[in-house]
Amino acid sequence: MAERPTAEIAVPSKDPKEKKKDEEKKPDSKTNGVKDEEEELSEEDAQLKSELEMLIERLRESNTDLYRPALETLRTLIRTSTSSMTSVPKPLKFLRPHYPGLQTLFDTWPASENKSLFADILSVLAMTYSDTEPRGTLRYRLLSASLLPPASKISEPGSWGHEYVRHLAAELGEEYTIRQEGEEAVPAPAAEGDADKPKPAPVPGTIKDLRDLGLECATFFLGHNAEPDAVDLFVELEIVDRITDLVDANTFSRVCAYMDRCVMLLPPPDDVTFLRTIHKIYLRFSKFPEALSVAIRLNDPNLIREDFNASGNPVMKKQLAFLLARAQIPIEWLRPPPSEDADAEDELPEDIIDCLSNVHLSRHFKEFGKEVGVEDPKSLEDVYKSHLETTRSGPSANVDSARANLAGTFVNAFVNAGFGNDKLMVAAEEGNSWVYKNKDHGMMSAAASLGLGLLWDTDIGLSHIDKYTYSPEEWIKAGAFFATGLLNAGVRTEADAALALLSEHVENKSVPLKIAAIMGLGVAYAGSHREDLLSLLLPAVADDGVSMEIASLSALALGFVFVGSGNGEITSTILQTLMEREDHVLDEKCGRFMALGLALLYVGLQDASDATLETLKAIPHPISRQTQILVEVCSFVATGNVLRVQKLLHLCGEHLDALKEKEAESTEGKKEEKKEEKKPDDTFQSFAVLGIAMIAMGEDIGAEMSMRQFNHLMHYGDPIIRKSVPLALGLISASNPQLPVLDTLSKYSHDNDLAVALNAIFAMGLVGAGTNNARLAQMLRQLAGYYYKEPDCLFMVRIAQGLVHMGKGTIGINPFFSDRNIMSRPAIAGLLATIMAFTDAKAFVLDKYHWMLYFLVTAMYPRFLITLDENLESKPVTVRVGQAVDVVGQAGKPRTISGFQTHQTPVRLGTTERAELATEEFIPYAHVLEGFVILQKNPGWEKEDTMQL
């Protein structure tokens, strides 16, 4: 037995030795032998090699007349020999061993034009030594430029080929970074040893020289379909704005597309610089819709006004007006500032005002419903399909009928929104209206549902609502006021009916009427920045005698109206109120809406909220912490800012340790302390979870990353955090039902904690809002059977079913539009306010604030593509609709949609879908086919047509 292992070991121990001997022999033969082999392989290579060696010898000789021709020949040989893309060019391969010798030779030459050419050649050779001598290529390139006499010009970097330019660009970036970091970076290499000694001294030239060389490289890139490389180089050299002068008609669209994609990944000041640069480029090439959409993203009133007035074409102006109306930009921004005496230009033409005010929306939406075949009203049973539910019938299913009727109110309102023909409310006979099937505060929501049923239809709508405003029942009257506000959401009229009807009731003695009037105004004028509403609503925020509820809702209404304006007057008033109010008043749950009202003022303003955040830190009450989080996440909404997300995750992870320490510290006053400490502690974490969704939304990679974080929070979080995660999921993919999200929510909707389940069910409604998603509808039917004994959850299931079939599948609530590039600020406000009511569903939605579900109306918008002719009449054309594909940075002209179907307009578009015209018969004025698009006949089309015949 003992021998066998020795025998086994002995055999391998001999073989490797022999191998090693062979290997030792091989290198000797290689050094001499390989050369012979190569020489034998091809005569051309041998000839080239000897020629190169001869040229190098010439440079070493004392006869200076031979230098110039030798260098010229070397240059020609190197340039003409790029054999294939994959292998190293032969001359570089053969010259590599001579590089150190040539370097020492170069140092001995006196400054002359010849030396400049020599430096240029060395710069190319340095590419082969880039690992041992970094930035050699750049150093010799700059030396070559500095040695030339002022009259002559150095050859273009592009003349040495693409690889050389890319190499140079990479070294430019490195060198620039080292220079910017300054002297701190210099001492380190010196200490490392002799090998690195050439590092600090070499690269000559100033920052300006580096940038000028960068411009040359970028010009080459732009001419050779490498737009991303050019942009990246400019980012490294911090001169992105200078790319505007280099692009031409062929490259600008690709440059802008790439820069646009980069915006999400850049830290704060850079992203705005990028957007402004894109804007400049678009304006230079008269691409007005693209320029205007960038101006809207920047939220800059001056740019928006200039872009809107830049086009002389009245039809183009109408198209721009449709874009502004979709983003709900205040019309006042388009009028020149009061200081300029421009009486002539003061009034915009009426047809453009109509486009800006969304007046056509209702008519076109109803026509669209007719075309798509969904104009008939849907009954509740059509939505519930309760015959498919798996409910155990019997006496046990005694559902609270008032609660069921209330759910029916919302389902009917959301499903038949905008069509103005639902059977329960609008078309109901006098005295037989659904309103009377509800109790007390239920009547308010029922009457308010009229506003949703008649959405955007300001003419007919008011006459329907009017009869309820005279009702003796206070709740019905309040509902009618709120309906007036809902009706006007996103639509502006000359009559200003909402303001005329509601302003007098803001001071009403009755609380429900007062609240309805305040919130009605907030919703009707969301995003309009109307100064006259400021004087109307602000006193209620500042008045100490008013209940916290009314003060908070007034602040929220102001937040809606002045969303994203950073209005100083409102900010200071809300801060003042938060400072002066008693602690027990601030403890009320309504306080979160005041915090939200303040936060909405800063939507998308990034660093502009710093001063407010600092002031909030001075408020001792826990509400200040909640407000800080809300203000911060609203400021950075949809920016994908990683640092802010990390900060919020940190807040979510605080709870456990803090509570353990408290338990250890106090034994006697434990209960009291917990009561006081825990409540405020909790709420801010809930907002932090929502904040992660707010910051990550609008960009797919960020949204996907946040999904993983939510998963962790769901596993390890406290109840308050677990309760908020489903809401965050609903927010991050509103009207965008992707399978992973649906499955996750489906899992949470069966959670043991009913608060989590409830929010998950609502989130399912948000995710599927207006998509008619069959899988989701099936899930909700199963949940209706599962929760048949839980009135709260069943109520929520019904509402989710209503949301999924919103507008019979024609209305979505995703706050991003125009190819998911532009964020609608009022939509963000509406979504956030609704979700805020669910952070404590028991106190708000399940109690008497269920009307807060109607806040979604500011985010509701039809998801259609309607093509119009130049007179704004409907013009059916064929379009292809498919899933949008990201083609940024791809070569050629790849397809922008996949898996398309061809339809006749008007057509419905999903959140992630994109449309393109099927033929070239018409040219669209808009850059993205979405919403209202005006078409122009293509003048060259008919000629082509006749030729084909």
User: Per-residue pLDDT averaged across 910-927, rounded?
Assistant: 92
Q: What is the mean pLDDT of residues 466-475?
A: 87
Q: In residues, how long is the chain?
A: 949
- What is residue 134's predicted lDDT score, i.e. its pLDDT? 82
pLDDT at 675 over 70: no
Range scoring the smallest mean pLDDT among 2-11, 75-84, 468-477, 759-768 = 2-11
| Residue 747 reports pLDDT greater than 50 | yes
What is the structure's pLDDT at 676? 42
pLDDT attached to residue 199: 45
Q: Is the pLDDT of residue 52 over 80?
A: yes
- Pinpoint the alpha helices (H) of 581-622: 583-586, 591-600, 610-617
Q: What is the pLDDT of residue 108?
A: 87
For 369, left (φ over 0), alpha (ψ -120 to 50), or beta?
Answer: alpha
What are 444-454's pLDDT values in tens digits? 998 899 889 88
Chain-centre distance for alpha carbon 713:
23
- Average of per-residue pLDDT values in the chain: 84
Q: What is the pLDDT, as a whole number, of residue 862?
A: 94
Highest mean pLDDT among 17-21, 684-688, 760-764: 760-764
- What does the alpha-carbon distance between residue 147 and residue 123 come to, in Å, rounded to a whole number? 14
In this structure, of 115-124, 578-587, 593-602, 648-657, the range with the lowest mean pLDDT score is: 648-657
pLDDT tens-digit readout, 818-832? 988 999 999 999 999
- 834: confidence class by pLDDT, cuts 50, 70, 90: very high
pLDDT of residue 508: 84
* 184 pLDDT higher than 50: no
On the question of pLDDT at 256 being above 80, the answer is yes
Q: How confident is the model at residue 86 (pLDDT cuts 50, 70, 90)?
A: low
Give the residue among 364, 490, 412, 368 at the shortest CA–CA distance from 813.
490
Mean of pLDDT values over 778-793: 91
Residue labelled with tokens 């995003």: 527
Residue 947: the pLDDT is: 47
What is the per-residue pLDDT for 3? 46
> What is the distance between the alpha carbons of residues 920 and 922, in angstroms, rounded to a whole number?
5
Query: In this predicted structure, what is the pLDDT of residue 664?
Result: 56
Q: What is the DSSP string of 688-721?
A: HHHHHHHHHTTSHHHHHHHHHHHHHHHHH--HHH
Is pLDDT larger for residue 508 or for residue 806? Answer: 806
- Pick from 173-187, 211-225, 257-271: least confident: 173-187
* pLDDT at site 799: 95
For 99-111, write each residue's pLDDT tens digit. Answer: 888 888 888 888 8
Range of weakest confidence among 152-166, 265-279, 919-933: 152-166
Q: Does the structure show a pLDDT above 60 at 17? A: no
Q: Can you read off the two tokens belonging to residue 672?
A: 């009291």
Higher pLDDT, 516 or 201: 516
Q: Does residue 379 contact residue 423 with C-beta atoms inside 8 Å?
A: yes
Pick from 345-349, 452-456, 817-821, 845-849: least confident: 345-349
**Which SS3 state, helix, strand or coil, does residue 914 take?**
strand
Poorest-confidence range of 14-23, 619-628, 649-658, 742-751? Answer: 14-23
pLDDT of 39 above 60: no
Residue 235 · residue 269 · CB < 8 Å: no
The letter for the amino acid at 133 is E
Residue 431 has pLDDT above 70, yes or no: no
Reported as a pLDDT band with limits 50, 70 and 90, residue 28 is very low
Q: What 3 state SS string does 857-880 have?
A: HHCCEECEEEEECCCCCECCCEEE
Query: Is the Cβ–Cβ distance between 632 and 879 less than 8 Å?
Result: no
Q: What is the DSSP secondary structure assignment for residue 340, as one 8-state letter? A: S
Res 235 pLDDT > 50: yes
- 428 versus 14: which is more confidently predicted? 428
Q: What is the pLDDT of residue 550?
A: 93
Pinpoint the alpha helices (H) of 399-530: 401-415, 440-453, 458-469, 474-487, 497-502, 511-524
Residue 436, classed as helix, strand or coil, is: helix
Give mean pLDDT, residues 859-874. 93
How much is the pLDDT for 848? 86
Tell me, what's the pLDDT at 206?
85
End-to-end CA distance of the chain: 94
Provide mean pLDDT across the span 879-887.
92
Across 680-706, average pLDDT: 87
Give 195's pLDDT tier (boundaries 50, 70, 90).
very low
CA pair distance 779, 313, nearest whole angstrom = 51
pLDDT attached to residue 1: 47
Q: What is the pLDDT of residue 397?
A: 47
Comparing 630 with 442, the larger pLDDT belongs to: 630
Q: Give the pair of three-digit tokens for residue 371.
A: 């075309």
The label of the residue with tokens 């790319």 reads: 243
Mean pLDDT of 793-810: 93
Highest mean pLDDT, choosing among 171-185, 319-333, 667-681 = 319-333
Per-residue pLDDT band for 187 (boundaries 50, 70, 90) equals very low
Average pLDDT over residues 379-403: 69
Q: Are 775 and 808 in contact (CB under 8 A)?
A: no
Q: What is the pLDDT of residue 824?
A: 93
User: What are the boundaries of each domain within the chain?
Assistant: 45-146, 864-937
Q: Could you tell me if residue 735 is left (phi over 0), alpha (psi between -120 and 50 degrees) or otherwise beta?
A: left
Give the pLDDT score at 426: 80
